[in-house]
Amino acid sequence: MNITSFKMVLLASCLVAVPVVLTPLTAQAQNAQEKPFLHALFSDNAVLQRDRKIPVWGWTTPGQSVFVKLDDKTTTARADANGRWMARIGPYPAGGPHTLTVTGAAAGESVTRQNVLFGDVWLCSGQSNMEMGIRGANNPQQEIAGANFPSIRLFTVPQGTAITPQSKMDSQWLVCTPENIMKNSQGGVQGGNLGFSAVGYFFGRKLHQELGVPIGLIQSAWGGTII
C-alpha cells in the first residue's frame, strides 16, 4: 500500500491534520490565574507543523508584551483585554532540535522549551477504535519493544468534561520510546495500561518511515463519546 492510500484509509478513523489543533482556545469562564502563561502544547519535546506560520499562545496581564524566541529569531506579541496573547513564528522546514523561549514582563514569566522539532503533526481523535492502546494490537510485546523513534513525539489530551472550552491541561509531549508509549502525558499508566493509541502510533510510524520527517501525534480519544 502506498503512502497516499494508507493516509486515506486512516483518515477515516478520525485522524485530522494539525492546523485544526493549533488554534488558540477561548476560556472566558476561567479566572485569569488559572490560564497558563504558555499553553501546554508548547512543552519540551514538542513537534510543530513544518512549512507554515505557527501560532504560539498563552495568557498574561492585559496589555503586557510577550517575547517569543526560537533559536536566534524573536517575535513580539501583546496581550489583549482578556490577557490572551499570540505570536506567529516561522515557517520552518522539517528538522531540529530547536529551543523555544517565551518571556513576559511579570516575575516568573520566562519559560524555555528544549528539543523542539518541526515536522508533521496529526490529531488522533475518535472513540474506542482510536483510544485502544498498542497493548491491544497484534504482537504487542514486539511492537512495544520496537517503539523507539526519537523523532516521533506523543501527546495525550486528558479525558474530562467541561461546559466551556478549556485553556489549561496537565499534559506534555513525550519522545516515543518503549517506556513512554505506555505512559500518559502525566507520566502515569495510559489507557488502562493499554498504552498510546495503536491506530495513531502505526499511522505515525508509517509516515515517519516513508517521509523521513518528525511526526507529532496528539491523542484526544474517548470510547463511547459523541462527536
pLDDT value of residue 165: 82
CA dist., res. 71 & res. 152, Å (int): 21
pLDDT value of residue 213: 98
pLDDT value of residue 117: 99
In a domain, 181, yes or no: yes
What is the number of structural domains in the chain? 1
Per-residue exposure over 56-71, b if at least 16 CB sit within 10 Å of its own CB, e if not:
bbbbbeeeeebbbbbe
pLDDT value of residue 83: 95
CA dist., res. 146 & res. 143, Å (int): 5
In a domain, 169, yes or no: yes
In a domain, 10, yes or no: yes
The three-state secondary structure class of 32 is helix
In a domain, 110, yes or no: no
In a domain, 77, yes or no: no
Tens place of pLDDT per residue across the chain (227 aa):
444 444 434 444 445 454 434 434 333 334 444 789 999 999 999 999 999 999 999 999 999 999 999 999 999 999 999 999 999 999 999 999 999 999 998 877 999 999 999 999 999 988 888 888 888 899 999 999 999 999 999 999 888 788 888 788 888 999 999 999 998 544 444 445 688 999 999 999 999 999 999 999 999 888 887 76
In a domain, 174, yes or no: yes
Count of CB atoms situated within 10 Å of the CB of 143: 19
pLDDT value of residue 20: 37
C-alpha cell at 79: 496581550
In a domain, 33, yes or no: no
pLDDT value of residue 192: 55
In a domain, 58, yes or no: no
Which residues, at least 6 apart from 39, have a Cβ–Cβ distance to it below 8 Å? 24, 25, 56, 57, 58, 167
Angle value at C-alpha 105, between 104 and 107, nearest 5 degrees: 95
Its domain, for residue 144, covers 3-19+117-221
C-alpha cell at 90: 516561522
